[in-house]
Structure 1
Amino acid sequence: MGKELTPPGAGGDSIEPVDLKKALEERYLAYALSTIMHRALPDVRDGLKPVHRRIMHAMRLLRLNPDQGFAKCARIVGEVMGKFHPHGDQSIYDALVRLAQDFAVRYPLVDGQGNFGNIDGDNPAAMRYTEARMTEVATALLEGITEDAVDFRPTYNEEDEEPIVLPGAFPNLLANGSSGIAVGMATSIPPHNAAELCDAALHLIEKPQASVSDLLHFVQGPDFPTGGIIVDSRDAILEAYETGRGGFRLRARYFVEDQGRGTWQIVVTEIPYQVQKSKLVEKIAELLIARKLPLLEDVRDESAEDIRLVLVPKSRTVDPGLLMESVFKLTDLEVRFPLNMNVLSRGKVPNVLSLKQVLQEWLEHRKEVLIRRSRHRLGEIEKRLEVLSGYLIAYLNIDEVIRIIREEDEPKQVMMARWSLTDTQAEAILNMRLRALRKLEEFEIKKEFDALSAEKAGIEALLASEAKQWQTVGWQIQKARRDFGPEQNPELGKRRTSFAEAPEHDDTDIYHAMIEKEPITVVVSNKGWLRALKGHLSDLSMLTFKEGDGLKIAFPAQTTDKILFFTTGGKFYTVAADRLPGGRGHGEPIRIIVDMENDQDIVTAFVHDGSRKLLLVSRDGNGFVVPEAEVVANTRKGKQVMNVKTPDESRRCVPVSGDHVAIVGENRKMLVFPLAQVPELTRGKGVRLQRYKDGGTLDVKLFAIGQGLTWQDSSGRTFTRSKEELVEWMGDRAAAGRMVPKGFPRSGKFS
């Protein structure tokens, strides 16, 4: 019989009821806090998450300094996992690899030897094949860690200790950036230029009241390891840094390479940060096959050590700027890098900070590290001075000391009593070597004593004066700027990302550049089915429709056009011609393409021309003129332009031409009046154009009075009435009109 799991003698009463809601809340909160504090968010002081901090600490313990040899990554990962980080080896190795990738980290903390992956997104070699050691940046982050600069805490198994934060003599949070997703919050900080950050920090020490705007004279903006160009206004950048939230539009860097005889190609030399080159090329190739980039002929990846992506235009007449704008719009050659400076403020509280607050917290940390290191050094000096003063007493009384050591049973106690020595001093004298009794040694001790006394006075003065502390912090920052700035270290320190204004191109030009221009015929059926047939068809009699349906409108267009649909509800809908269903079958109902109400029908459809004006007329005889540019709808819901209430409905939409309006009612009465009497609105009900006792508007026509009014009868004959012949129908807007003239079509319509 197996062991009982319940306590002996407890029966079944040992089950403790737990409220599920409360238990879930507690456990989820514990998980959320753990993710926020110990995984996803970086500490504002050293810019590291726990896994990176533990890697740095383990590498220091393994003595993998920049001037030492490399060690296998497997050994480093094992050390980190076994002592400090109880998680999977792969996640630790991934973090280690990223710290070594110069295309992923602006200032690498790890110097890698072997295959550490590449910008194409290829995986690094296994950890047993790669080797690593620290870089100078990493040693700057660790500087002073053995001098009580920071607090330590027990590791997960309490066998060892690990630092809570690193001393951070390098502005790592902003210089290398960070990104992470916690629970209910995320962080995304782009990399920056260390020299610019140091200049801004020095300015902040001098002028603590400086605004974010002042700091942006030093920190121009992000500085990505892969370069590129930021196309954002200074105002947008300032707002992002003031609030700690925003984003940056980052574009690839390219130039137009002349190939002689008027031919050229575009060469991309820098791609945006965190974009995998191989996937980028694949995406451009897919768009080419899908004919979404009609200005582009081909894409080639000619990269070796440096990036070289070649974009070949369709023809030499293509505008390079327009070609690149269309590529930027559809591919990751332009990305938006988010800014969300959500960090652990003071290592405890998750908070979104501004640029100034991040730099202030780093400076405060540097000052605290300075004070702690100074106190630690002071303690060491005091211990050494105590020993040295003991040595000096021994030298002054050397013969007596030798006698006591030779003759006394308890020489330590006797010496302590004789010269008022401390235990430490007496122990030091007893441990002295015989060769140290030379005269020269006494001189050396006096010299060391004086030097340490002077250093002690200096440290005490430093600890007593805040101004001196800030002065020393400033000196340390200047040293970091020197070490990692462009003057001493041009390859690492020089700014890589530049700034530019995005070139202004008309949106319609870019839109056209992204669609292959082809002639089509748009067909609309009576029941609202749409389709686009290839080419401009002259014979429409071959078109087939569903049973009970027939042709309503058909007109020629290009795939680059916008098609406007006007409905009986007074709404305009806009559909891109290239998005219309093809000519196979009967097409698709318009209600699938746009959100059109079921009780409404299409009045008309036509190709959009932004330079025109339209006359809209309702069944009740109301109408107004609207500029066509005002009726374009950007969403599926359309744009309400003419306000009509049931049973009234929109009846006519006619392009404005000429100077007079002829309107015919269902009562076969016609009225002619000047177009100038119709107001121009962007939206509304309009004004009364013709008055009816019963029935409503049947048709409307705009014409130039000088050329007369024309119409066609059912047999196709054309009739024209001159200005003089129209006198009896001429009047003012809102009149009833008179019966139509002789020869007017039975249908009551002008055509």
Structure 2
Amino acid sequence: MLSLAAICQCRYHRAMTDLHDNGETPSLNVFEPLRRALSERYLTYALSTIMHRALPDARDGLKPVHRRILYAMRELKLSSTGGFRKSAKISGDVMGNYHPHGDAAIYDAMARLAQDFNVRYPLVDGQGNFGNIDGDNPAAPRYTEARMTAVAEALLDGLDENAVDFRENYDGTLTEPIVLPASFPNLLANGSSGIAVGMATNIPPHNIAELCDACLHLIKVPDARDDTLLNHVPGPDFPTGGVIVEPKENIAQAYRTGRGSFRVRCKWEVEDLGRGQWQIVVTEIPYQVQKSKLVEKLAELIQTRKVPILADIRDESADDIRMILEPRSKNVEPEVLMGMLFRNSDLELRFSLNMNVLIDGVTPKVCSMKEVLRAFLDHRREVLQRRSQHRLEKIDHRLEVLEGFIIAFLNLDRVIDIIRYDEAPKAALMAEDWGRDHVRATSEADYVSPLPATGEGELSEVQAEAILNMRLRSLRRLEEMALVKERDDLMLERAGLEDLLDDESLQWGQISDQIKETKRLFGKDYPGGARRSVFAEADEAEEVPIEAMIDREPITVVCSQMGWIRAMTGHIDLGRELKFKDGDGPRFMFHAETTDKLLVFGSNGRFYTVSAANLPGGRGMGEPLRLMVDLPNEADIVDILIHKPGRRLLVASTAGDGFIVSEDEVVAQTRTGRQVLNVRGEAKALLCRPVTGDAVACVGENRKVLVFDLDELPEMGRGKGVRLQRYKDGGLSDAITFTLSEGLSWKDPAGRTRTETDLTEWRGKRAGSGRMAPRGFPRDNRFT
């Protein structure tokens, strides 16, 4: 789109020109509403994008750039049986003669027409590197060569017979076709995609033989329902194959409305390796998926352990697709593994359908399959009528010439005399009365110039010119017989064409014959003509719990004071001495299983979730926990817990605020974690304790203890919480929940457990100040 400055400058120059033409003195102040100026120009740009760039024509299924490429190749005589020409020559001719855009864009469009993994029926036969399914770019156009395929020639068939209208090219020096004759519904056969202004199109490829059957059915039953067409065209047929697992009713609905989507999966099989070992081999991938990026994604799933039952991925592809997926254990179900990969990679995707096309090359419309096929058939009928009318005109011209030839043969001596002796033979031939007898002149003196014609044998200018251009070797008796036979044959053909043009049923009959011939040429016997995509019934890939993907094994989780975490195989003695980095030591150490989820509570009030199966092995020092979650450098690890669904947690900050939260609400799905406890200023998250019992005990930095009922604490999903204990100076040191009837326990400095059952002195309401701790209470003001 033009910039605002360019628009204003154009308006200024136009206004100045108008003033000069009217003899007025131009003023520097030109006023026009900006809204109107922008809307006019944007509308022009939008229409140009829609009609001449992004949307295909429903009749031949091509965008202007593709149509111009094929027409230029035809002008260069690059037939499917001829030689190749450099791609640089082709793109240069297209750019110079028909398409005023960059050569790179033209070459990219031409290269795509040659890629059998992008186009169901390639229109360009490429020689050289035209790219591959891994996403590698084609070689430079000076290295590659191209010519048309037989399929492209079928689109151009009849172009010399006035089958379609032509228009001038961009500089008015040449002409180009507005649309191609198109012997088959290329829009559906090869599909199309594009983004215009305010609209887009995305049409999958289909099988030509099936489309031909649908066209024949539509000719036979013009009012056929959309559903009956699905008996002939069950769905897309992608160049890369794959398995379409969309329900039939959804496919039918998409084709009825012109909008929808198709769920496409890769084609895979289980390969037995013997001794109970197996591997999965992927032989076809979904349409428009780059294999290299797919392999990278699968490798990323292995590295991040999002699919822990996948051990390795290998790409053994050559000319065909062969991707090897190795399971981590032979006990894994192949269906479970593929189900996880379908959910987390492009081994399954949805291909959207949006049949937004140009009707008659002008009007954009979202069409149903029936409407697209009807537009093609109506175009074929118009092409047939125009070609028949063109042939009729050719026959009339030839019959006129033949009549002249026959007259010449019947009066051969007189024709020879006129050509030999007359100074104006053409005029003499036209003036001669060929209905009377003629006497052969023996010399120029005996030659009598023709009188004005009075009989029925008068020759036209076309006939006279043809006689004068006749070769001497044609003046044979056999040639005369051939002319008479040709005239009779042409008269018979002419009568047939007149009947054809007058009878609609004959027209549809001939169109049916043409479509049957197209099906024979490009059907199952054509290389790559058989259906590639197959159909299957499958439910949506469900989320598989991690427990179902991981072998349940005991581990011991160890996290150091510096935040280095590891998982040691088995449940080892928690009192065992372990090796740590210099200056580091143990902080958290507990037994778990590989199927567990670990909840990490940070001093910033966020909960982070880590799968125990993803922890590094215990042979080394482990890895920093911050590499697994996005824990800020200024935040510390407050606690690490094993996630137990349905459990409740007590969370509190150093400011003395806290609340109860359901453990199910703190599980995070991303590395960034989930904010639960809001902390401000210098306050930090202090503790996270499982809720047990019916009472809460708090101790502050001032060594005052407060005991109150658990019911006084609210249960929240996120927030600052409520005040647990009131302080004049300092903040909260510790808090726990317990059963009041069992008493409050703590360990004294000697390591002995002491229990206080009579807590009357410390009982109070929430947010009270409390009383001094009992004698023997730990000096660090901690219950545990």
Equivalent positions of 1:341-352 (< 5 A) are 341-352=355-366
Quote the Cα distance in structure 1 between the aligned partners of 2:543 and 2:242: 23
2:86 to 63, 66, 73: 73
Q: Which residue of 2 aligns with 1:3?
A: none
Query: Which residue type is aligned with residue 39 of structure 1?
Result: R
Query: Which residue type is aligned with residue 492 of structure 1?
Result: G
Q: Does 1:492 align with 2:529?
A: yes
Q: Which residue of 1 aligns with 2:10?
A: none
**What SS is found at the alignment partner of 1:507?**
coil
Q: Which residue of 2 aligns with 1:647?
A: none
Q: Does 1:459 align with 2:496?
A: no
Quote the Cα distance in structure 1 between the aligned partners of 2:84 and 2:485: 45
Deviation at 1:147, TM superposition (A): 1.9
Deviation at 1:34, TM superposition (A): 4.0
Q: Which residue of 2 aligns with 1:270?
A: 284
Deviation at 1:264, TM superposition (A): 2.5
Q: Which residue of 2 aligns with 1:501?
A: 538
2:205 to 191, 205, 208: 191
Deviation at 1:152, TM superposition (A): 0.6
Quote the Cα distance in structure 2 between the aligned partners of 1:88 and 1:17: 38
1:608 to 630, 643, 659: 643
Quote the Cα distance in structure 2 between the aligned partners of 1:630 and 1:155: 66
Query: Which residue type is aligned with residue 460 of structure 1?
Result: D
1:414 to 450, 453, 464: 453
Deviation at 1:274, TM superposition (A): 3.6
Q: CA RMSD in A?
A: 6.1
Quote the Cα distance in structure 2 between the aligned partners of 1:637 and 1:344: 47
Quote the Cα distance in structure 2 between the aligned partners of 1:500 and 1:257: 22
Q: Does 1:147 align with 2:189?
A: no
Query: Which residue type is aligned with residue 608 of structure 1?
Result: H
Task: Describe the shift of the 1:510–1:40 C-alpha distance in structure 2 as closer, same or farther (beyond 3 A).
Answer: farther
Quote the Cα distance in structure 2 between the aligned partners of 1:200 and 1:713: 85
Quote the Cα distance in structure 1 between the aligned partners of 2:376 and 2:582: 74
Q: Which residue of 2 aligns with 1:401?
A: 434
Q: Which residue of 2 aligns with 1:731?
A: none
TM-score by length of 2: 0.68
Equivalent positions of 1:207-226 (< 5 A) are 207=221, 212-226=226-240
1:100 to 96, 114, 120: 114
Matched positions, count = 707
* Offset from partner CA, 1:46-93 (integer Å, 9 cap, x none): 122222212211222333333x32132344344434432344444433
Task: Describe the shift of the 1:591–1:120 C-alpha distance in structure 2 as closer, same or farther (beyond 3 A).
Answer: closer
Task: Describe the shift of the 1:440–1:631 C-alpha distance in structure 2 as closer, same or farther (beyond 3 A).
Answer: closer
Gaps of 5+ in 1: 1-5, 644-649, 729-733
- Overall identity of the aligned pairs, in %: 47
Quote the Cα distance in structure 1 between the aligned partners of 2:468 and 2:670: 92
Task: Describe the shift of the 1:247–1:436 C-alpha distance in structure 2 as closer, same or farther (beyond 3 A).
Answer: same
Q: Which residue of 2 aligns with 1:109?
A: 123
Quote the Cα distance in structure 1 between the aligned partners of 2:256 and 2:674: 37
**What SS is found at the alignment partner of 2:383?**
helix
Query: Which residue type is aligned with residue 643 of structure 2?
Result: H
Quote the Cα distance in structure 1 between the aligned partners of 2:389 and 2:647: 81
Q: Which residue of 2 aligns with 1:171?
A: 185
Q: Is the 8 A contact 1:51 1:85 kept in 2?
A: yes
Equivalent positions of 1:70-469 (< 5 A) are 70-74=83-87, 75-122=89-136, 124=138, 127=141, 130-182=144-196, 185-207=199-221, 212-234=226-248, 237-238=251-252, 240-242=254-256, 244-278=258-292, 280-281=294-295, 284=298, 294-325=308-339, 327-328=341-342, 332-384=346-398, 401=434, 414=453, 418=456, 434=475, 435=477, 438=480, 441-442=483-484, 445-462=487-504, 468-469=506-507
Q: Is the 8 A contact 2:164 2:181 kept in 1?
A: yes
Q: Is the 8 A contact 1:71 1:131 kept in 2?
A: yes
Query: Which residue type is aligned with residue 282 of structure 2?
Result: V
**What SS is found at the alignment partner of 2:641?**
strand
Greater Cα offset, 292-301 or 354-363 = 292-301
1:480 to 518, 540, 558: 518
Greater Cα offset, 270-279 or 18-27 = 18-27
Task: Describe the shift of the 1:743–1:174 C-alpha distance in structure 2 as closer, same or farther (beyond 3 A).
Answer: farther
Quote the Cα distance in structure 2 between the aligned partners of 1:123 and 1:621: 60
Equivalent positions of 1:529-678 (< 5 A) are 532=565, 561-564=596-599, 606-609=641-644, 611-614=645-648, 629=664, 632=667, 634=669, 661=694
Quote the Cα distance in structure 2 between the aligned partners of 1:167 and 1:452: 23
Task: Describe the shift of the 1:750–1:350 C-alpha distance in structure 2 as closer, same or farther (beyond 3 A).
Answer: same
Quote the Cα distance in structure 2 between the aligned partners of 1:682 and 1:217: 57
Query: Which residue type is aligned with residue 149 of structure 2?
Result: T
Query: Which residue type is aligned with residue 491 of structure 2?
Result: F
Quote the Cα distance in structure 1 between the aligned partners of 2:86 and 2:552: 50
* Offset from partner CA, 1:82-137 (integer Å, 9 cap, x none): 43234444443333333223223210112334444443445555545544332221
Quote the Cα distance in structure 1 between the aligned partners of 2:360 and 2:479: 52
Query: Which residue type is aligned with residue 515 of structure 2?
Result: I
Q: Is the 8 A contact 1:326 1:514 kept in 2?
A: no
Deviation at 1:32, TM superposition (A): 5.0
TM-score by length of 1: 0.71
Quote the Cα distance in structure 2 between the aligned partners of 1:381 and 1:361: 30
Deviation at 1:410, TM superposition (A): 7.5
Quote the Cα distance in structure 1 between the aligned partners of 2:338 and 2:285: 13
Task: Describe the shift of the 1:28–1:495 C-alpha distance in structure 2 as closer, same or farther (beyond 3 A).
Answer: same
Q: Is the 8 A contact 2:395 2:494 kept in 1?
A: yes
Query: Which residue type is aligned with residue 478 of structure 1?
Result: K
* Offset from partner CA, 1:623-644 (integer Å, 9 cap, x none): 9996x5566455799889999x
Deviation at 1:513, TM superposition (A): 6.5
Quote the Cα distance in structure 2 between the aligned partners of 1:110 and 1:91: 16
Task: Describe the shift of the 1:586–1:483 C-alpha distance in structure 2 as closer, same or farther (beyond 3 A).
Answer: closer
Greater Cα offset, 224-233 or 257-266 = 224-233
Deviation at 1:457, TM superposition (A): 2.0
